[in-house]
Copies of this chain bind each other. A is one copy, B any other.
């Protein structure tokens, strides 16, 4: 039987991230964005409070963390649990869907970290041969 599957290309999924206007593109950007990915991976190890996250994700500002968390919460990837205590305590944790994303993201990150020596070597080689030409 014939699917619409081009050799090695699209599944018969209704969403295609390669298309400019596909909504999956936006979610992908939340998930792989500068802070989104690190935030999800930080939460992969367990729920964290706002300032715990802030310390864990080195370099993120309050504003960007807040913004990032809102986007991820809106996409249904992160659950926000506020306790009406004083001082306030808010815990962030992954939803099941968020865990699926974070799992794959940490896999990617660990792979990249594991290849960094080779990446750095490739960079050196590139810079040398380019500079020499």
Contacts and interface: CB of A to CB of B under 8 A. Distances in A.
A128 to B, nearest CB: 11
A89 interface: no
A118 B19 CA distance: 19
Given A32-B32, A121-B76, A123-B76, A18 B112 contact: no
A126 to B, nearest CB: 4
Contact of A118 (B31, B59, B76): B76
A110 B45 contact: no
Contacts of A105: 108
A122 B74 contact: yes
Given A23-B116, A32-B32, A58 B18 contact: yes
Contact of A97 (B76, B118, B126): B118
B113 A17 contact: yes
For A20, A57, A108, the residue with the greatest tally of chain B CB atoms inside 10 Å of its CB is A108
B123 A13 contact: no
Interchain residue pairs A-B with the least CB separation, the first 4: A76-B122, A32-B32, A8-B45, A20-B59
